[in-house]
Structures are given as C-alpha cells and as structure tokens.
Amino acid sequence: MFKFFTSESVTEGHPDKVADYISDAILDACLAKDPNARVAIETAVTTNYCLIFGEISVNAKIDYETIIREAVKDIGYTKPEYGYDANQLQIDIRVKRQSADIALGVDKNKHKDLGAGDQGFVFGYAVDETETFMPLPIYLAHRLAERLAYVRKNDIVFGIRPDGKTQVTVAYDELGKPSNINTIILSTQHDPYWTQADLHQAIMDYVIQPVMKDYDLSDTVIKINPTGRFVTGGPDGDAGLTGRKIIVDTYGGYARHGGGAFSGKDPTKVDRSASYMARYIAKNIVASGIASRCEIQIAYAIGIAEPVSFYIDTFGTNKVPLKKIYDVVRKHFKLTPSGIIKILDLNHPIYRSTSRYGHFGKDNVTFSWERLDKVDLFKDL
C-alpha cells in the first residue's frame, strides 16, 4: 500500500516570488550599508506596478526605486509584452521607521542581549531521503523549477517567459521510503508562437529529463501546461505578495510550519532566523546518523531573548536517548536572537538568493544554516 505525497515549487518569475525577491533585495541593500538595520518590508505587485510598504530603520540612504528595477530586470521581466517591464514600472514607496514600541523590546536590554522581534514559534526539519536532507518531493520540485529558469536564462529553450510552477508526487512504501515518482506537473509561461506539442517536447528534453535522469519515469504521469496555454503570467496575470509561498520556502508541507514568512525580514525577526537555526540543528542531527528524521520547534516571546520552549522530535528513529541529544543542543547551540545571528553570521546581504527555490537544501557557503560542522558533536554520542 503506497502513501502519496505532493509538493510544489515556483520559478522566480511567479508573482509571489517577484514580491519576495524585491523584499529581500531591499533587505540586502540595507544590510550592505548598515549590518544592524531593522527591516520588515512587504511588496505587492500587479500589472506594471510595484508597491513596497513596511518599516525600515537604517543608517544610510537607500535608493529603493533603483533596487526594485534592478531586481525585476534580474528576474527577466524586461519586455513590454510581458505586462511587467522593469523599465515601465510604476513604483509606490510607503516606508516608515520601525515602531518605537517594537524597538524597545528588541534593542539590547539591561542584560546586553537582543530580545526577539516578535512572539511566535518556528520549525526546522531534516530527513535522510536525499543528499541535501530535504524531503524528496520538494527537492525535485525545486530542481525542476530551477532548471526551467536555467534553460530560459541561458537560451537553451527560446520563447520561455519567467513565470512557472512545478509539482511532484512521490509514492512511499509501507516503510516510509520513497518508491517511485507518481506524477510530475510543470507549467511554464511562453511566447504565443509555441504549439503545445513542440513546447511539451522541449520541456521534456531540456527540463524534465535532465533533472530526472536517475529516476524511472516509465509509469510516471507527466502533465505539461495542463490548461494548454500560458502566455499571460507573472504579475500581469495574477497579483503577487510577499510571504505567500511559505510552504514552497520550507519543506513542501512535509514538515510543520510556524506560519511566519521569511522574505523582507532582518535576522532579529526570529520567524526567519530561528527557522534557520532549527534547520541547522535538525540537519546536523540527521547527518550524524543518530536519527533518520528530526523536527525542531522553538518558541519566543517578543522582547525576551531566551526561547520560552524548545523540543526535539525524531519520530522514534533516534539511536541514542533523546536526553543526550538535548544536552548537546543546550551546550553548543545558543538560541537567543544574538546567539543565532552570531553563529550563523546573518547580518550580511545574503538574502536575495534565499527567495529562489527554497531557503533550505542549497549550498552551505552562502546558507550557513546548511553547514554540517556540528555533526561530530552528535556522532560522539
């Protein structure tokens, strides 16, 4: 008896991801000039229009309009016929300084430590299904979306536009192990001249087959542009907002989510930085071999540095007592906002690239929370 699990990803030209990318581009610009900048910026996009709004406190002058146009150009919206053109955008800027009440709770207090930027709880997860310790459905969905953008940007397939979505369904056996790829769905925006038959063949040859070369697709259901046409897309086809792809950003629904979005937030916002720390801990635990699955939850109160709760769940796969795992985490991982920022080195302009193809499971050079430098601490158990 198989269990089926499905996850989706989207390309950087998806309207919600356009919004995420702009928000994180602004965050990076602020941190490049002021590592202690406080940023909570939201973006909304629709046909040839971009609104940024929120709170920014930064000791520098930021050219928001130039940042926005460069971000949109980087995504690939550079032609009037796309309905979203970096050169023709109407830009509306509604930015104010961070609330004094919030700053009071976050700024270093009498204990010389940063308080959490908000209350809330976060999750981190890792599983040994893939070499990146990500669940297989979201891993493959991201790789398909990433490849779709690659063939567009490198002119491997001409006439592909920036918007796109992917979805992968994996069949799991009774032991909970991936058995086969049940379904692949891929939708790509395209120029009007494409016939669907030609487009299907090009996507199979240059996107799906290269990504899925190690998998048997003989019984896999593959659907490409199920509606039969996808010319109008991106912000021209649907409005986009920051933070509407939080499941795409994390584990594809395979693990729980605390509900907080990431993009546009500086690392004092624990719904972002603590999610990174939770992933970091979970990944090192699973990579050490002492558990095949691990979920971490951390909870905070605004203005208070130490978490109000913390738990580790290995779903019964742990090979050593949980108490020993807890002891290692308490000793070697500081879970206050300042501790997380220091350990993961988060006060730098590294965030623009997080908004594409998930925040987890990518390289550990840019994404410090993907490092496996704590594995030996757990192996020693």
Instruction: Establish whether 42 is a catalytic residue.
Output: yes
Choose, from 38, 143, 152, 165, the residue flagged as catalytic. Answer: 165
* Helix 337-344 × helix 270-287 angle, to 10°: 60
Active site residue 92: no
Per-residue three-class SS string for 289-331: CCCCEEEEEEEECECCCCCCEEEEECCCCCCCCHHHHHHHHHH
Q: Out of 190, 265, 279, 374, pick the active-site residue.
A: 265
Q: Which residue in 34, 55, 113, 306 is the catalytic one? A: 55
Q: Is 74 left (phi over 0), alpha (psi -120 to 50) or beta?
A: alpha
Phi, psi of 287 (to 5 degrees): -65, -25
Give yes or no: 16 in active site: yes
What's the token pair of residue 173?
């056996």
Q: Is 143 a catalytic residue?
A: no
In the set 163, 271, 295, 370, the catalytic residue is 271
* Catalytic option among 239, 257, 299, 324: 239
Q: Where are the beta strands (DSSP E) in the chain?
A: 3-10, 38-46, 49-57, 90-96, 120-127, 160-172, 178-190, 221-224, 240-241, 293-300, 309-313
Can 239 be counted among the known catalytic residues? yes
Which entry of 74, 113, 238, 306 is annotated as an active-site residue?
A: 238
Burial of 165-200, coded b for 16+ CB within 10 Å and e otherwise, reads bbbbbbbbeeeeebebbbebbbbbbbeeebeeeebb
Q: Hey, is 17 helix, strand or coil? A: helix
Query: Is 374 noted as a catalytic residue in this protein?
Result: no
With CA atoms as reference, report the closest residue to 283 among 378, 158, 201.
378
Could you tell me how far CA 142 lies from the centroid of its own chain?
A: 10
Three-state SS annotation for 73-131: HHHCCCCHHHCCCCCCCEEEEEEECCCHHHHHHHCCCCCCCCCECCCEEEEEEEECCCC
Q: Is 238 considered catalytic here? A: yes
Q: Which of 12, 42, 236, 249 is catalytic?
A: 42
Token pair of 171 as six digits: 């069949």
Is 245 known to be catalytic?
yes
Active site residue 177: no
**Residue 131 bears catalytic tag:** no
Phi, psi (degrees; rounded to nearest 5) at 262: -105, -50
Between CA 94 and CA 266 the distance in angstroms is: 18
Q: Is 165 a catalytic residue?
A: yes
What is the C-alpha separation between 201 and 209, in angstroms, rounded? 10
Determine which one of 269, 283, 352, 374 is catalytic.
269
Contact of 265 with 346, CB cutoff 8 Å: no
- Whether 17 is a known active-site residue: answer yes
Given 5, 8, 14, 29, the catalytic residue = 14
Q: Which of 33, 79, 244, 371 is catalytic?
A: 244
**Active-site residue, from 8, 17, 38, 272:** 17
Q: How far apart are CA 68 and CA 73, in angstroms?
A: 9
Residues noted as catalytic: 14, 16-17, 42, 55, 165, 230, 238-239, 244-245, 265, 269, 271
